[in-house]
Amino acid sequence: QKARFTLDPAFTVGEVNPRLFGSFVEHLGRCVYTGIFEPDHPTADEAGLRQDVLDLVKELGVTAIRYPGGNFVSGYKWEDSVGPVEDRPRRLDLAWRSTETNRFGLSEYIAFLKKIGPQAEPMMALNLGTRGVAEALELQEYANHPAGTALSDLRAAHGDKDPFGIKIWCLGNEMDGPWQTGHKTAEEYGRVAAETARAMRQIDPGVELVACGSSSQSMPTFAAWEATVLEETYDLVDYISLHAYYQPEEGDLDSFLASAVDMESFIENVVATADHIGAKLKSKKKINLSFDEWNVWYMSKWHEIENSGARDWAEAPRLLEDNYSVMDAVVFGSLLIALLRHADRVTVACLAQLVNVIAPIMTEPGGPAWRQTTFFPFAQAARYGRGQVLDVRVDSPTYETRKYGETDLLHATAVRAEDGTVTVFAVNRSRTDALPLEVALDALGLTRVVEHSALADADPDARNTLDDPERVAPHTVDGTTLRDGTLSAALEPLSWNVIRLA
């Protein structure tokens, strides 16, 4: 049985915002220390940044990088992270039960972004757990005010004459989660988020602000949380956040492969909730979505470590260092497709995280850096997923899943670049069978297949590791054709596919 869809330039979803290819650097485990920053590493530059990692970050194509947490931010004192390194205090990091040395801080983060290049943009999270309006304003003044005030002059005295120009700010992190330091009810959080936003706009009306939504669609307060928070903040914020992580549960791989069904429904439910509040408030404004944490994460493994008491106040311990398989990368690719399919409202998204911690890039202290399987779908989507997302409605054979019922075997989207070329991103969820695909695209005026690249393997459990860092990589698929306005391809079992057409 074939899967089919039609592409027509007249039917689009919306323009992809480059911020859809954002990522996330948290002071967690080895994301910062021995991840991006390792002064003693043979490839480190004068600032202590690992050049081998920087090269991979550039190749990955990330844009906005959220910082410094995550759960870490809810205990973060930004003042600790600036000024002479030797004067910076060591602190307890309650979120990850680690010791934070503050050797890497705000100025180093901005320098890291500059070295990535102009596509990299700061996205700063504020501590609304243990702190509030005053500290947010102080950080904003320190970071963004040009000169002539105590905090902007302090920044200059610290060696950063030019303001950092941080445009997009997260008003706290996962404030709905009981695990969050300073966790709040929706009413409590909505109030502090509104007042922080109002005050920040007094400094700069042009800041872009993200209110915390739910930590996952399965939170007991989901949707009611968003509604209450947005009632308080609707006119003051630009985005509501979403976080989602997926892993197989009880060995149910078929449902795991369909994780994007949950992600898409999460997005659609948040859009519905936000628009409901907009309608109630008789507002013309639309709130967009910042999917600022998403990934495959074997969270159950983490909970085992968490409960074992084995991580007491270490510096940069090995935490959340998931090693991803081909199957994980296929699910990951499908999550990327879900984001692209909703590019009209999801205008920011951050892959959590960038290095070592549930990350596409891994490192060894003093040793090499390498690409995980998930590196490839991200890099390809960030490179070719630029332009207008075309409306894709698939007619696909289905399979039965425990969690989501009858589910399409094909998950797909297509993006049309400014020059008229089109890239189809497609996942075959079948663990056993190839999926023949036919796309009618006469209206696009395309004539040839530039490349069909696939990530698939006879062993879906294959991974890249320190010992075998290049075991998995995408390969070129032969036999894909474009004739008389019809694209024909065979998608290998359990595969992520990128088909470029010109």
Exactly one of 135, 293, 322, 328 binds ligand AHR (CB under 6 A); which one? 293
> Which residue is at the shortest CB distance from ligand AHR?
70
Instruction: Enumerate residues 6+ apart whose C-beta is below 8 A from 118.
Output: none
Single residue of 38, 108, 174, 492 touching ligand AHR by CB under 6 A: 174
Handedness of CA 37, 42, 45, 50 (dihedral sign): negative
Name, in order, each residue with C-beta under 8 angstroms of 351's C-beta and a sequence gap of 6 or more.
21, 22, 23, 24, 62, 294, 295, 360, 378
How many residues touch ligand AHR under the rule CB under 6 A: the total is 10
Q: Which is nearer to ligand AHR, 33 or 142 (CB)?
A: 33
Q: How far is CA 474 from CA 74, 155, 320, 371, in A?
A: 39, 45, 25, 12
Which residue bears the tokens 């503050």? Answer: 102
Asked if 173 interacts with ligand AHR (CB under 6 A), we say yes
**Per CB under 6 A, 271 contacts ligand AHR:** no
Minimum distance between the CB of residue 180 and ligand AHR, rounded to whole angstroms? 8
Shorter beta-carbon distance to ligand AHR: residue 26 or 492: 26
Per-position DSSP letters for 250-285, written without gaps between them: TT-HHHHHTHHHHHHHHHHHHHHHHHHHHHHTT---
> Which segment (66-74, 421-429, 472-480, 489-497) binds ligand AHR by CB under 6 A?
66-74
Structure tokens at 109: 């983060």
Residue from 21, 26, 337, 371 in contact with ligand AHR (CB under 6 A): 26
Which position among 17, 71, 363, 430 is part of the footprint of ligand AHR (CB under 6 A)?
71
Task: Tally helices (H) and strands (E) across the chain.
Answer: 11, 26
Residues 417-456 binding ligand AHR (CB under 6 A) are none
Kindly tell me which of 352 and 454 has the beta carbon lying closer to ligand AHR: 352
Is the bond leading into 485 cis (omega within 30 degrees of zero)?
no
160 contacts 110 by C-beta, under 8 angstroms: yes
| Residues 226-265: x where in contact with ligand AHR by CB under 6 A, - otherwise, as a string | ----------------------------------------
317-356 footprint of ligand AHR as x/- string (CB under 6 A): -----------------------------------xx---
135 is annotated as an active-site residue: no
Is residue 174 annotated as a catalytic residue, yes or no? yes
Q: How far apart are CA 229 and CA 213, in angstroms?
A: 8
Minimum Å gap between C-beta 431 and ligand AHR is 28
Amino acid type, 501:
L
| Closest residue by Cα to residue 260 from 363, 151, 403, 357 | 403
- Residue ranges that bind ligand AHR, judged by CB under 6 A: 26, 69-71, 173-174, 215, 293, 352-353
